[in-house]
Structure 1
Amino acid sequence: MLKQFEQHFKDLGYEAPTAIQTAVYDKMVGDQNVLGLAPTGSGKTVAFTLPALANLLPGDGIQLIVLEPSQELAIQTSRVMRDWAKLLDLKVAALTGGANVKRQTERLKKRPEIIVGTPGRVLNLVNDRKLKLHLISLMIVDEADDLLTGDTLDTVREIAQSMPADVQLGFFSATDTPILHELDKWFGQEVERVDVRDQDNTQGEVRHGLLQVGMNKRDQMLKRLLAIPNFRALVFFKQSSTLRKTATRFYHDHVSAAGLTSDLRQVQREKALQDFRQGRIRLLLTTDVAARGLDIPKLPAVINYDLPDKVNEYVHRVGRTGRMGEPGQVISLGDDHDLRDLKRLLKETDYELVPLYFNGRALGTERPTAAAVQANETAKAERQATAKPTATAKAKDGSKATAKVKTSGGAKPTVKAETPNPSKKKKHKNRHTKNKGMRKKWRDHDEEK
Structure 2
Amino acid sequence: MNNRRGYLPSYGGTPQRLPQQIVQRGPLQNQQQQQQWLRRDQVEEEKRVTSEDAASSSQDWKAQLKIPPKDSRYKTEDVTATKGNEFEDYFLKRELLMGIYEKGFERPSPIQEESIPIALTGSDILARAKNGTGKTAAFCIPALEKIDQNNNVIQVIILVPTRELALQTAQVCKELGKHLKIQIMVTTGGTSLKDDIMRLYQPVHLLVGTPGRVLDLAKKGICNLKDCTMLVMDEADKLLSQEFQPSVEQLIGFLPPNRQILLFSATFPVTVKEFKDKFLRKSYIINLMDELTLKGITQYYAFVEERQKVHCLNTLFSKLQINQSIIFCNSVNRVELLAKKITELGYSCFYIHAKMLQSHRNRVFHDFRNGACRNLVCSDLFTRGIDIQAVNVVINFDFPRNSETYLHRVGRSGRFGHLGLAVNLITYEDRFSLYRIEQELGTEIKPIPPQIDQAIYCK
**What band does the TM-score fall into relative to the shorter chain?**
0.7 to 0.9
Task: Find out whether 1:241 has 2:311 as its counterpart.
Answer: no
1:29 CA drift (Å)? 1.1
CA shift digits 1:169-201 (9 cap, x unpaired): 111001132122333334263422111223999
Indicate conservation of the 8 Å contact 1:236/1:306, yes or no.
yes
Task: Find out whether 1:43 has 2:130 as its counterpart.
Answer: no
1:229 CA drift (Å)? 5.7
Task: Find out whether 1:304 has 2:396 as its counterpart.
Answer: yes
CA distance in 2, matches of 1:200, 1:219: 30
Which structure 2 residues correspond to residues 170-185 of structure 1 after superposition, within 5 A? 170-185=262-277
CA distance in 1, matches of 2:180, 2:373: 37
Question: Which residue number corresponds to residue 416 of structure 2?
Answer: 324
Question: Which residue number corresponds to residue 122 of structure 1?
Answer: 214
1:230 CA drift (Å)? 4.2
| Aligned mate of 1:313, from 397, 405, 408 | 405
1:312 CA drift (Å)? 1.3
CA distance in 1, matches of 2:365, 2:311: 23
More moved, 6-15 vs 309-318: 6-15
Question: Which residue number corresponds to residue 122 of structure 2?
Answer: 31
Question: Which residue number corresponds to residue 187 of structure 1?
Answer: 279
CA distance in 2, matches of 1:184, 1:200: 22
CA distance in 2, matches of 1:276, 1:318: 18
CA shift digits 1:226-253 (9 cap, x unpaired): 2236423111111112212222344455
Indicate conservation of the 8 Å contact 2:167/2:186, yes or no.
yes
Question: Which residue number corresponds to residue 98 of structure 1?
Answer: 190
| Aligned mate of 2:309, from 212, 218, 230 | 218
CA distance in 2, matches of 1:70, 1:164: 26
1:257–1:282 Cα change, 3 Å: same
CA distance in 2, matches of 1:308, 1:72: 21
Q: Higher relative CO (CA 8 A, sep ≥ 6), structure 1 or 2?
A: 2
| Aligned mate of 2:237, from 128, 131, 145 | 145
Question: Which residue number corresponds to residue 81 of structure 2?
Answer: none
Question: Which residue number corresponds to residue 350 of structure 1?
Answer: 442
Question: Which residue number corresponds to residue 46 of structure 2?
Answer: none
CA distance in 1, matches of 2:260, 2:437: 37
Question: Which residue number corresponds to residue 16 of structure 1?
Answer: 107
More moved, 179-188 vs 82-91: 179-188
1:326 CA drift (Å)? 1.4
- One-letter amino acid matched to 1:179: T
More moved, 341-350 vs 286-295: 341-350
1:275–1:230 Cα change, 3 Å: farther
1:205 CA drift (Å)? 1.9
Question: Which residue number corresponds to residue 20 of structure 2?
Answer: none
SS at match of 1:306: coil
Indicate conservation of the 8 Å contact 2:126/2:262, yes or no.
yes
| Aligned mate of 1:113, from 199, 205, 209 | 205
Counting aligned pairs with the same residue, the percent is 29
CA distance in 2, matches of 1:83, 1:204: 28
- One-letter amino acid matched to 1:48: F
Listed as ranges, the gaps of 5+ residues in structure 1 are: 366-449
Q: TM-score, normalised by structure 1?
A: 0.75
| Aligned mate of 1:70, from 162, 170, 173 | 162
Indicate conservation of the 8 Å contact 1:59/1:111, yes or no.
no
Question: Which residue number corresponds to residue 81 of structure 1?
Answer: 173
SS at match of 2:177: helix
Indicate conservation of the 8 Å contact 1:19/1:200, yes or no.
no
* Number of residue pairs matched by the alignment: 361
Question: Which residue number corresponds to residue 430 of structure 1?
Answer: none
Indicate conservation of the 8 Å contact 2:96/2:144, yes or no.
no
Question: Which residue number corresponds to residue 14 of structure 2?
Answer: none
Pairwise CA RMSD? 2.3
| Aligned mate of 1:54, from 137, 145, 149 | 145
CA distance in 2, matches of 1:254, 1:124: 45
Indicate conservation of the 8 Å contact 2:438/2:444, yes or no.
no
CA shift digits 1:208-267 (9 cap, x unpaired): 000112222222322332223642311111111221222234445554112111111222
Listed as ranges, the gaps of 5+ residues in structure 2 are: 1-89, 455-459
CA distance in 1, matches of 2:205, 2:143: 11
Which structure 2 residues correspond to residues 422-437 of structure 1 after superposition, within 5 A? none
Question: Which residue number corresponds to residue 361 of structure 2?
Answer: 269
Indicate conservation of the 8 Å contact 2:261/2:280, yes or no.
no
SS at match of 1:258: strand
More moved, 276-285 vs 296-305: 276-285
Question: Which residue number corresponds to residue 18 of structure 2?
Answer: none
CA distance in 2, matches of 1:250, 1:320: 20
CA distance in 1, matches of 2:185, 2:212: 16
Question: Which residue number corresponds to residue 223 of structure 2?
Answer: 131
CA shift digits 1:147-183 (9 cap, x unpaired): 1010310010111111112211111001132122333
Question: Which residue number corresponds to residue 436 of structure 1?
Answer: none
CA distance in 2, matches of 1:192, 1:269: 37
CA distance in 1, matches of 2:162, 2:336: 20
Indicate conservation of the 8 Å contact 2:160/2:233, yes or no.
yes
Question: Which residue number corresponds to residue 394 of structure 1?
Answer: none
1:6 CA drift (Å)? 3.1
| Aligned mate of 1:166, from 248, 254, 258 | 258
SS at match of 1:259: strand
1:340 CA drift (Å)? 4.2
Indicate conservation of the 8 Å contact 1:204/1:323, yes or no.
no
CA distance in 2, matches of 1:25, 1:51: 6
CA distance in 2, matches of 1:63, 1:11: 25
CA distance in 2, matches of 1:67, 1:216: 41
CA shift digits 1:109-141 (9 cap, x unpaired): 211100000111111222222212111111101
CA distance in 2, matches of 1:274, 1:188: 36
Which structure 2 residues correspond to residues 371-390 of structure 1 after superposition, within 5 A? none
More moved, 316-325 vs 348-357: 348-357
1:21 CA drift (Å)? 0.8
CA distance in 1, matches of 2:176, 2:301: 41
CA distance in 2, matches of 1:136, 1:290: 29
